[in-house]
Amino acid sequence: MSELLRLVEVMDRLRSPGGCPWDAEQTHESLIKYLLEESYEFIDALGQGDREGMREELGDVLLQVYFHSRMAQDHPTDPFSIEDVAKLIADKLIRRHPHVFEGLQVDDMDEVIENWEAIKAQEKGRTSSLDGIAMAQPALPLVEKLIYRAEKYKVELPLTDIESAVAELQSSPDEASVGEALAAIIALAHQHNIDPESALRGQARQMIEKIRQSEAG
């Protein structure tokens, strides 16, 4: 038996009568924190080059996908299953890769991305540069996405230059000036094709190492 099918059976038993009371009482909302936590734990394992940890954490992320899908089967009016989820993503990948599945000729990676975005916009019926942005995501990637979308759709997005933003922060430090300075830094990173999340995470790793060295004496 496929291990994926075995996972389906295990999850079904846990959620069915006579299964696990904790699993049975969970909701999509109650599991949100676990989905985020498991994703961050995979990122940690990846950053540490921990292959065994990556395998384990990917399993935990996969569990969350199966868990939510199994709960969705019990919805009284709009149920769906893991099969529906898998079909949706497989169909989407085929549609958005016409250069692979339909013989469309492309010249470079930029054209691949342009095609993806155009097909996605057509599928979603988007009319605004804000459509499809996950507003609940952490602020750093949210600001980066807003800058990217404004640039892509040629929407004016006035931002304070970094020198002025830092000067304002130094003279009147408050929440607004901190936010303005951070947005200016993210915009500068975007301008130079630097991933601000990756850059800040690298700095965090250096800080962690310095703390460990200090604690070790």
Domain chopping of the chain, boundaries: 3-80, 131-216
Closest CA to 59 of 44, 84, 43, 38: 38
Percent of the chain past pLDDT 70, that is, above it, reads 100
The answer to whether residue 126 scores a pLDDT higher than 80 is no
Q: Which CATH superfamily is domain 3-80 in?
A: MazG-like (1.10.287.1080)
Q: What is the pLDDT of residues 179-202, one digit of tens each?
A: 999 999 999 999 999 999 999 989
96, containing H or E segment: none
One-letter amino acid for residue 61 of the chain: V
- Give the span between the Cα atoms of 188 and 202, in whole angstroms: 17
pTM score of the predicted model: 0.75
Q: Residue 82 in contact with residue 62, Cβ under 8 Å?
A: no
Burial tier of 64 (Cβ tally within 10 Å: 0-12, 13-18, 19+): middle
Q: Residue 85 in contact with residue 68, Cβ under 8 Å?
A: no
pLDDT at res. 127: 78
Burial tier of 53 (Cβ tally within 10 Å: 0-12, 13-18, 19+): middle
Classified as helix, coil or strand, 139 is helix
- Give the span between the Cα atoms of 48 and 185, in whole angstroms: 26
| Polymer length of the chain | 217
Q: What is the pLDDT of residues 47-97, one digit of tens each?
A: 889 999 999 999 999 999 999 999 999 999 999 999 999 999 999 999 999
DSSP string, 72-92: HTT-SSS---HHHHHHHHHHH
155 Rama class: left (phi>0) / alpha (psi -120 to 50) / beta:
beta
